[in-house]
Each structure stands twice: as C-alpha cells, then as structure tokens.
Structure 1
Amino acid sequence: MTLSALSTATAGLKATQAAIGIVSQNVANAGTAGYTKRTLTTVAGLGNSSVATGAVARSFDAAALKQLRLETAGSGYTATRAEVAAQIDRLFGTPGGATALDGLVNGFTLSLQTLAANPTASAARSNVVDAASALASGINAMASGVQDLRTGIESQLATDTRSASTLLSGIAGLNLKIQGTSDPAARADLEDQRDQQITQLSAYMDVQAVSQRDGTVTLMTGTGVTLVDRGNAAALTFDARSSLGPNSAYSTDSATRSVGTITATMPGSGSIDLGAPGVLRSGSMAAQLELRDSVLPQVQRQLDDLAGGLASAMTDKTVTGTVSGTAATIDLSGIQAGNSLTLPVTLPDGSVRNVVLVASNKGSAPVDPKLTDDATAFAQTFDISGGAATYAAKIQEALNAVATRATAQGYPASRIPTLTASGGSAAITVTGSSGTKVTGASATITLPTSATDLTGAYPQIALFVDGSGNKLITGSLDAGAQATGLAQRLTINPAVSAKTAVLTASNAAGTGTDGTRANFLYDALTSAQITFSSSSGIGGISAPHTTTVAGFAQDIIAAQGAAADQAKTLDDGQSVALSTAQGRFATSAGVSVDEEMANLISLQQAYSANARVLTAARDMLDTLLRL
C-alpha cells in the first residue's frame, strides 16, 4: 500500500512539475508576437492508479484564426485601394483651385469670354493661348501621373510577389519540420511560426489552410489554386515591365500582354496565371491588379475623353439625318477618318441598340465598342478612301460584317440588325428590313481639313492638336486608336500660337475681327451638349453620358473625390473588422497572466499535496526499517 502511494505521489509530482513548466513558459511569452497559449493534458497512469503527462497542445479558437486571416486579406485589399484612390484624387487638385482640373477649364473658358468681349485686344488673344496651354499641360501632367501610379504598382507587385513566394517556401519548410518532429513543445513552436507566416501571406492574397492528419497544412487561394501541398510550395514569379503607358494592358495571350503577371509554378506540374481577372479576390495584390488593369485605365480614359472632347467641341459639327418609315437618310459630306456615323435601331425582338460606323481610310474592320461613345454598340469601320460615290457600298460592306460577326458571337436572329445602305453620293440612306427599324442617324464631322486649316469661313478651329505630329484630332483608328493616350499628347496648335489673330477672324480671308469665333468656342465648351463614352464610367457604365465639356471636367473631379471617400470609408470599416478579429483571436490564443497565476497557485497546492504524501511514505518506511 505504501509503495502504491509512493508511486502515485511521484507521478503526480512529475505531472505537476511539467504543468508548472508550461505555465512558466506561457507567462514568459505573454508579450511575444505570434505565441499561442500552451496547455498540458494529463492522462491516467498504469491501472488508473496514478497520473501521467499527456501532449503539449496549443490553445486557440480555429474559427477565430480563420476569420483573422479573412479580415487581414480584406484589410490589405481596402488599404491599398484607399491609398491609391487618395493619390488619384490629389492628381486632379482641390476642386475650384486654380491648378485643379476644373479650375484650369474655368480659366480657359473665362479667357474665351473675355476675348469675345474684347476681340481687338491682342493681350486677350494671348491670354486665350496661355490659358489653353496651361489646360493642356495640366491634363498632360494628370495623365502622366496616372501612368506613374500604374508603373509604381507594377514595381510593387514585383516586390510583393517575391515576398509572398518566400513565405510560401517558408510554410512548406515548416510543414516538413512539423511532420518530422516528435517533441510536442518543439512542434507547437513550429506551428506558431507557420500560423504567423500564413497570416502574413493573407495580407497579400486570400488563402485558406486545410489541416492534414500528419500535422501539415495545404494552402489554397480562395478560388482553389494550390499554393502549398505539405512540403511542396509554388514558386511565384512576376515578369515586371519597367514602364507602363496608356496602351499597356493585361491579356491572357502572353504575346500581346504588355504588363506583368503573377505566375505560380508547382514542382513537377504546370503553371497558373494568378494575374488573370478574378483569380485573386482579396489582399493587397488583388487590389494592385485591379487598380493597374481596371481602375487607373478608366481614369486615363476619362482624361482621354476630356482631351478629345476639348478638341472635337472646337472642330466638329453634328449632322442629323431624317427618318422615314424604317429608314434614315444623312449627308456625310466632308467626313474624315475617325468621324463616326451612329444609327439607333430597333431590332426584331423590340430591343434598341446603336450601330456605330467609324470612317477609315482602310478596309472595313471590327471596332472595340469601348472605343466609341457607346460601349454596348455594334461597331465597325467603313472605308472612305474611294470618295463619296463609294460610301454606300462601303457602308453596306461594314453593315454586312456587323451582322456576320454578331451571328458568329451567338446572337439570335431577333437581335441582329438587317440593314441596307443606298445612295450615289455623300447622301446615304440606311433602311431596315426583316423586323429591323432605323430610328435615327447622326454623324460627327470635323470641319478643318488639317491642323493648319485656320480659315474664318466657319467658327470651328483646331486650337488643340495631337502632339504626336501635330495632327488634327478626329479619333482616327487607322494607326491605332488616336483617343488612347491623347491626354498625354494634347497640345496647343503651333499654327494658332504663331497667329493668334485667327481666334477673332470674321471671314475666310482673315481680314475682319469680331468675337464670333470666341463666342462659339466658349459656347462649345460651356453650353453645347457632347456625348461621352460610357467606358469612362462617368454617369454609369450602361449608357453614354451627355454633358458639356466643362461639366465633364467637373464630373471627373466629383467622381474621383467620391471614389476616394468611398474607398476610405470601406477601409475604415475594414480596419474595425480586422481589429475585432485580432481581439477575438487574441482572447482565445493569448496568454492571460492573471489566469496563469491562478493556475500556478493550484499547481503549487497539488505539488505540495504530493510532496506531503512522499514525506509520509518516507516516514513510514523509516519507522518500518527501525523495527
């Protein structure tokens, strides 16, 4: 009986001593980042007559850890979006400021108004040129700033990809160490390190960890791409571009892709493009990809549309056709490459859609509708190089191509326009049939024939030109889309700068002086309604946005200000969610010194009790030996 009590007390002392060691370790690491509270389980000894130490386990709420990683990824995403949105907002300046976008536009329109009232004042003409130059330079700088942001994000993506790849490799290495470790205490330390690295990784991308029976974890993205499988980790690479421009864009075709992408390659298997839209859904890298490939290009498009609107408002006239039954007739005299013909049609199923035909000096070709005023339109070029006598035949060729392409894309017959073009001159009639009805026709036609055409025969004048060759701005697609990147190339027409008198010329000979042209230019910017593409995102993405040029500039500033405020609000809310998740996990996994001290007192009492049993057993044995 004495020997049994001695054995039980000895086992109790050992278990209590081990538990006290765990408490001491917890208290010593109470302030250590990433440390998870340890617990020691006890099990029954031989014959249930004693106690033995069990495994050292980490104590935490698995659901809280999963939520922490989810919120960490969300915070990485919203913080990145908010930071860049604020930088975009600053690019446009403080609304109303002299150097802000709307301030530059207002300064230019005010100079035109002043010139209209004082057409004979040479200083007033110079002020118009100076104000126009300041506006063009401001738009140039803003557009360059957008591309600088894209280039900066490209560089940051390269850095973050390297960091994420290092973390993946480290996690796989810890998997192997955990798998080969038999010491429970050392295993718990390794698991802490691994959890900490997974949480760090979640700031870059959305990941989920699946625990395996051997103690390892498998890491996958939210869309199911495996990044770590036990001891194997995907190697992440990023083929960064040194500088991005307006035409730099992502494509699934590596031959045409002009920005970097994230490639994940698992050992012994193929590679996966993590940079493709939708593969990464959260984390800073997902936000960077969205900003580089969607948000900032749309900001560039807004500036390009503003630059194009400034130029076309001063050079173009709008021609409206006449409708009769299911047909419309329109005069396309003077149409130039880049000018467009818009045909609103009612399709056989009753839906309404635009057919946009863009004039070209080349053969008919498909047009990305995002390059037109209506991103939902059927769009095609038509060849005007043969002169007005060929317009009808070339328009018919383009209309046939539209129908053929729509059929190939899977449109039902009820949603494909059936149209016929006729006419032997610039006057063209487009007729609908088989349930298609043409409900209108309009065209934008640039009046000056070149940047040096400064005749006073009409009020239109090319004050702004494309700085790449000082070309007339018509929106031509013949050498690539002229509208793309126009904001960076917009400049004052040197011919106007050299001869400011053309701003007040009252007749073709340029011998008269009045405020007619200045008044026209002022009204063209502040009163005339212009249609801006829905691709700019201003006023929504489902339909074109109609406003004045000055109004569009104000809309851009308002939109970016609202986007920055919304991004900050979302980030503030996400910060609260992250803080809550951190607090919840800390409560479940963190060390409470007060709780550990209470445990220590209980363990000391247990230790003292076992020690008394040993003392009593020793005294009994001593007594027996003395008998």
Structure 2
Amino acid sequence: MAIRTADLFSIATSGINAQNTLLRTTSHNIANVNTEGFVRERTTFVAELTGGVGQGTTERILNVFAQNQLRRDTSKLGEAQAFYERIAQMDNILASEANSISGSLSRFFGSLQTAIDEPDNVSARGLVLGEGKSLMERISSLSEYMNRSEIELNQELDSLTKEANDLIRNISDLNSQIRDVQTGNRFEEAGVLKNERDLAIRNLAELVSIETRVQDDGSTLVNLTTGQSLVMEAGVFNVFQTAGDPDITRRNLQLSSNGKPTVLNVAETDLGGKLGGIFSFRDEVLAPAQRELGQLALAFADAMNEQNNLGMDYDGQLGADIFSLPSAQALNYAGNSAANLVINGRVAAGDAEMLSTSDYKITIDAVNAGPTLDITVELLNPDGSPSLDTSGNPITQTFTGLNAAGGTWEPIMDGLELEFPSGGTYAVGDEFLLQPTRYTSSQITMDIVRGEDLAFASPIKAEGDIGNLGAASVLSTSVTNTTVSGGTDGSAFDGAGGLLGPGAAPGGGVGAPAEILFTGPDSYQVLDSAGTVITVVTGAPDLRNLLAQAETSGAGPAWPAAFAAQDDFPGYDVSLEGVPKAGDRFTLSYNTNGVDDNRNGLELAGLQEANTVRRDVSTPFSNQNGTTFHGAYAQTVSSVGEKAATADIKLKAATAMEQQSSDWYESVSGVSLDEEAANLVRFQQAYAASARILSTAQSLFDTILSSVR
C-alpha cells in the first residue's frame, strides 16, 4: 500500500485548486449556453499517490458519430431546401392562370374559329392577330422569367461559392492554430478554437456534402463525399471556382489548389448541400423547361406559318409567314483554333415538328476545297450529358461536303439548317454548341400586321363542268406547296394570281395541271390550261388524289420528267366522290375572289389538335412520337409539378432527420443548465470543504507552535 507523504496544507491546496478549476469549467459552460457551436466541457482529475488531487484535464464532451450524422443531415436539408424553394416558385408561375400558355392557346384558337366562320369579317381577323400577339407575349414573358431565374441562379452560385471558399480558408487557418495550441499544452484542449472550426465545418456542410477525418494533432481534414479534398494537411486547401465552356452563363464547378496550379472538375450532380440543390434545380428543372418552352414556341409558330403559306389571303395573294423565326449562333469552345469563328443555326421552314429539346455539339472533322466541311453532330441533354437513342447509345450523325459560305444554309438533322460564314478558316477539331431552343421563345415576333394577311382561303379551286352527265362531284382539294420559285422547290402557282401555263411550267412544254377529263368511270386525262394532254390514267382504283395517281401511273404520255424532278409539283391535288361518265370535266384554277372561302382557315384551326411537337429525342418525330401544343405545355407543367411535390416530401423528411440528429448531438454536447447548476452547488461545497481542511490544518499548526513555546 502506497504511503501518503503529502501534508494537510498541500492536500487542501490541491483540492481548492481542483474545485476552482471545476467551478471555472462549469461557469464557462453556463456562460456559453447560448453561444452557437459551443460544445460543453468537462474537467477530470486523478488522485496523487502521495495524497491530494493531481493534474486536471479539460476536454469537450463530444459524440463523433452524432456530430458526423448531424453534418450529413445538414447537407441533405440544405440541398432539399435550396431545390424546393426554387422549384416551388417555378411551379406556382407555370400553374398560375395569369401566366398559363394553355389559356392563351385556347383564346387564340377560339378567336381563329370565330374568324373562319366569317372569313370576310376583317374585325374578326384583327382579333386573331391580337390573340396571337398576346400568346407570343405570354410565351416571351415566361421565357424571360426563366432567363432571369438563370441569371439570379448564377449570382447565387457565385455568392455561395465565395462563402464556401471563405469557410475552407477559415477551417485551414483554425487547424493551424489548434495544432500550435495543443503542441504547447497537452492538459487542456483548444476548445474555443475547435468549436469555431467545427461550426465552420457544419456551415460548410450546409453548402456541400462533406466527410471529415480527425488527425492526432487535433486538426480535421475535410473532403467532398465524392472524394476531392477541400482541407488537407500542412495548411493546404482547395477552393471552388466557376467557369463555363463554351457557355459562360452555365456555371461549372472546379477545385483549384492553393499549393499547386491544379484544377479538378467537380460533379455537380453529386455535390450535395445548397450548391448541389441549386445545380440540380438548374439541370433537372430550369434548363429542360427553357428548352421545352422554346420547342413549343418554334413548333407553334412554324406550323402556323407553314399552313398560312398554303392558303390565300383576303387580298387574293398567296399566304405569307405569320411569325418570324429567329436563328441562333453556336457557341465557340475555348480550345478552338480561333475565337471569332461562327456557325449559325435555324429551323428549316416547315420542319420545326422534328426539332428536339437537345443541344447540338458540332465538331469539324475535315476542311475541304471549295470550301466544304465534314462535321459530326452530337446531341446533348441540357446538363451536357449525351442524348441517348432507344438502345442507350449516344445520338450522333456525320455530314460531309457541306458548303462553307455566308448565306448558304445546309440541312442536317431534326429540321435544322446550318450556315458556315467563316468559310475555309475552320480547323479540324473545332467544336461548337448550338442551342436552338434555349432562348428562341422570347425572340419570336409577329411578321404580319393586318388581319387581311391571314390566308383563310385555299388558293386552288376545283369545279365540275355544268354539262357533266355523271354523278361525280368534288370531294376536296389539298394544297401542299405554294412556293413561287425557279428552283426545285417551286410549285405551280405563279405568284400573280394564277397557275403556270405552257412555257412557264418546269420543262417549258406543257403547263401545270388545269383540267381533268374523264374517258370512263376509272380513266381520265390530265390537261394543262391550253388543253394539251399531260398524261393519261386508266384503271384508277378510286377517285382520290387524282394528280398523285397521274404522277405515279400516268402513261401515253407519261408524267413529265421535269415535273417529277421538282420537290413537290404542282403542289395541289383534287379528290372526287361518285361515279363520273366519259366526257365529264373538272377544272382546276386559282381561287380568284375566294373571299368567303375558309378551307385553309379550317386547316389552321385544326392545328390545335394536331401532333406537331416532338416528345422523345430517342426516336424520330412521328404522330406517335408527337403531341399537341396543349399537350406539350401540359407535359412541362406536369413534370415541374411532379418534381415540386417530390421535393416537398424530401424537404419534410430532411427537416425531420436534421432535427433528430440535432437533438442527438445536443443531448451529448449541448449545455444543460439544470445539470450545470447541480454541478455548481456540488463543486462549491467541495471547495468549501477543501477550505475547511486548510483552516483545520492552520489550527493544528498553531496548536503545535503554542505547545513548544
């Protein structure tokens, strides 16, 4: 058994000092009960073998597992909250009747239906233009809201990135201070510094999802959960920086080291925290919605233009475009051979239905004499990942021999045309990013200002001769091309209120079809305006699309090769019903004075129910892979609404989990005033008892001195 050699004075003194330290620790805990990030402290002592109290050690009361769980749940809550706040706002905007594109579409087609009921009513025509302008303004307003959201999003990303970098630097500095303090004092933890550092780590966890590792020297290393280091040993740390290539408005996140000139890319989708929530909202909600709105606007405007061009207006002229469709300039990648290279893109007239919501990456494969270019086009999702086909492969296509000259537009895919105004100055490996649907919805404008320019009438008229003896009558006419052109895209319309006659039609021989003369119930001749036989058809299976049948089965003479060489000539056709007799005639002529005609107006109104917007990028456009204007907008609203509802559930779950982990953490590391008050009384009593020992020792010492005097 150890022999205690300490005297009462040293025992009492050590007891007083120990209780004083305990009182100081308890007082420190009570004083910081409302200090954010404070971790309660505890001082422990060991007994000296010789008697009395030994050296005390003060340390924080901390459950590392609870702390790490709280950080993880803080990241999840930050991500869920950032995502929900933004998607809830967009959901409210899209679902609001005041901003609804669906309501504007209904009003536009309602006014169109009213106008075609009275095609000679100029006031009703003007109302259609007014509703069309209102629709475009509504689409533009919604597009500008999304564009402003994108700008605000980038500003917030910059602000949060700066905040994260400040926290990373602060954590690194505090690590250095903690190492210095603990090196010089092994009996007392650098509690204040560690509290401040852990609070900074928790604040950083709210911004990004992190993992930590505590070192023996008291410092804490911080990594992203994806593996990249933020705070390393010896004061080295990485900071975030934002960049965009080729689109500077689309921020990408990188890590830059303060010790070495190293840049690491960060996967924004796995980032977590507020930054991760903002990136997720941008890539999963905002960017797709921008492109879907652009696709809808282009499909609507192009479909209306195409159909109006196939009609005849109030003044008897061939129809023109109702809306002007913008072109888009592709973005240069930073690594291109020159920064001033240009590629322009646009939707080919009548082909917007084939357009997808993808972006198009264009790579120059070869620069040939001419100059001509060979290129590869790759489809990208709004987040930059490849668009995939039904087999899961990236969608790419190669094009060769494209003319590289200003003013020359070359068709590629999905209804797009490209212009290469930089000529032969492109270099192999140059890359460009074309975003045809991202901003175009706010750039579409009305191209006509008069209601009279709406082409409600059909430009072709078919009439049976008054002397016909058969029971056949005109069932319908169709118009597929009214282009007035000397090229291969031209129609039989001369642009001056008539059809091309002999000498003016392609080939310079016979004129455009102007008469159908039946030689029997199932045989007929096609004649031009001069009465010259163009071709003869025998054994017709039915009386539908008589000119199309003449083109494919006409004989003696056959359908003219010059007609067949055109893309779509004559651009009109006629169908009959009933049974004709030999000698029956049906004339085809320009619909002069057809003011009361509304046949093309009905086609315009029918676009409301037509599938004219492509749905899925993985397969080409078809009636099955298409939807209506209303359907396309409803799909966007539904998608955002569904994601908003899911985000709400995730936010509530994340809030509950964060509260639970916070309670767990606080139950260990938080200050309990009741417990500290009890300790205060206990330590005060111990202090008084130690003082009593000291006074007793003093009395004994005085008694001993008195006895020897």
TM-score (norm. length: structure 1): 0.70
Query: Which residues of 2 match residues 133-532 of structure 1 at below 5 A?
Result: 133-181=133-181, 182-183=184-185, 187-236=190-239, 238-239=241-242, 250=244, 254=245, 259-278=250-269, 280-314=270-304, 339=351, 365-369=375-379, 375-376=388-389, 378-380=395-397, 475-478=416-419, 480=434, 482-494=436-448, 497-498=449-450, 500-508=452-460, 509=497, 511-512=593-594, 513-525=596-608, 527-532=609-614
Structure 1 pair 544/226, CA: closer, same or farther in 2 (3 Å)?
farther
| Structure 2 counterpart of 1:70, one-letter code | R
| Alignment partners' CA distance in 1, 2:110 and 2:211 | 58
**Contact 1:40/1:53, CA 8 A, preserved across alignment:** no
Aligned residues: 485
| Alignment partners' CA distance in 2, 1:142 and 1:209 | 43
Q: Deviations over 1:166-214 (max 9, x none)?
A: 1111111111111111356671111011011111111111122211001
Structure 1 pair 341/175, CA: closer, same or farther in 2 (3 Å)?
closer
Match of 2:494 in 1: none
| Alignment partners' CA distance in 2, 1:341 and 1:375 | 19
Structure 1 pair 603/502, CA: closer, same or farther in 2 (3 Å)?
closer
Structure 1 pair 261/209, CA: closer, same or farther in 2 (3 Å)?
same
Q: Deviations over 1:512-545 (max 9, x none)?
A: 13332232222212x2224524359xx9xxx985
Match of 1:349 in 2: none
Q: Secondary structure at the match of 1:51?
A: coil
Q: Secondary structure at the match of 2:119?
A: coil
Match of 1:70 in 2: 72
Match of 1:81 in 2: 83
Q: Which moved more, 1:147-156 or 1:511-520?
A: 511-520
The offset of 1:40, in angstroms, is 0.1
What stretches of structure 1 of length at least 5 have no aligned partner? Answer: 241-249, 318-334, 343-360, 387-393, 399-442, 445-473
| Alignment partners' CA distance in 2, 1:590 and 1:178 | 22
| Alignment partners' CA distance in 2, 1:338 and 1:528 | 14
| Structure 1 counterpart of 2:439, one-letter code | G
| Alignment partners' CA distance in 1, 2:402 and 2:677 | 91
Structure 1 pair 271/371, CA: closer, same or farther in 2 (3 Å)?
closer
| Alignment partners' CA distance in 2, 1:255 and 1:133 | 34
**Contact 1:235/1:265, CA 8 A, preserved across alignment:** yes
Confirm whether residue 534 of structure 1 aligns to residue 537 of structure 2. Answer: no
Q: Secondary structure at the match of 1:52?
A: coil
Q: Deviations over 1:422-453 (max 9, x none)?
A: xxxxxxxxxxxxxxxxxxxxx99xxxxxxxxx
Match of 1:594 in 2: 674
| Alignment partners' CA distance in 2, 1:555 and 1:161 | 34
Match of 2:103 in 1: 103
Match of 1:121 in 2: 121
- Compare relative contact order (CA 8 Å, sep 6+) and give the higher one, 1 or 2: 1
Structure 1 pair 544/531, CA: closer, same or farther in 2 (3 Å)?
farther
Q: Secondary structure at the match of 1:366?
A: strand
TM-score (norm. length: structure 2): 0.62
**Contact 2:241/2:254, CA 8 A, preserved across alignment:** yes
| Structure 2 counterpart of 1:615, one-letter code | S
| Alignment partners' CA distance in 2, 1:530 and 1:362 | 33
| Alignment partners' CA distance in 2, 1:160 and 1:6 | 60
Confirm whether residue 20 of structure 1 aligns to residue 23 of structure 2. Answer: yes
Structure 1 pair 605/104, CA: closer, same or farther in 2 (3 Å)?
same
The offset of 1:615, in angstroms, is 2.9
* Structure whose residues are more often helix by fraction: 1
| Alignment partners' CA distance in 2, 1:130 and 1:283 | 47
| Alignment partners' CA distance in 1, 2:6 and 2:100 | 92
Cα RMSD (Å)? 3.5
Structure 1 pair 48/64, CA: closer, same or farther in 2 (3 Å)?
farther
Match of 1:52 in 2: 54
Match of 2:645 in 1: 565
The offset of 1:578, in angstroms, is 1.9
| Structure 2 counterpart of 1:213, one-letter code | D
**Contact 1:2/1:617, CA 8 A, preserved across alignment:** no
| Structure 1 counterpart of 2:262, one-letter code | S
| Alignment partners' CA distance in 2, 1:293 and 1:623 | 88
The offset of 1:577, in angstroms, is 1.9
The offset of 1:6, in angstroms, is 3.5
Structure 1 pair 22/286, CA: closer, same or farther in 2 (3 Å)?
same
**Contact 1:16/1:606, CA 8 A, preserved across alignment:** yes
| Structure 2 counterpart of 1:500, one-letter code | E
Identity of aligned residues (%): 25
Structure 1 pair 264/147, CA: closer, same or farther in 2 (3 Å)?
same
The offset of 1:486, in angstroms, is 2.5
What stretches of structure 2 of length at least 5 have no aligned partner? Answer: 308-346, 355-370, 404-409, 421-433, 461-496, 498-591
| Alignment partners' CA distance in 1, 2:353 and 2:149 | 36
Structure 1 pair 258/159, CA: closer, same or farther in 2 (3 Å)?
closer
Q: Which moved more, 1:195-204 or 1:577-586?
A: 577-586
Radius of gyration: which is bigger? 2
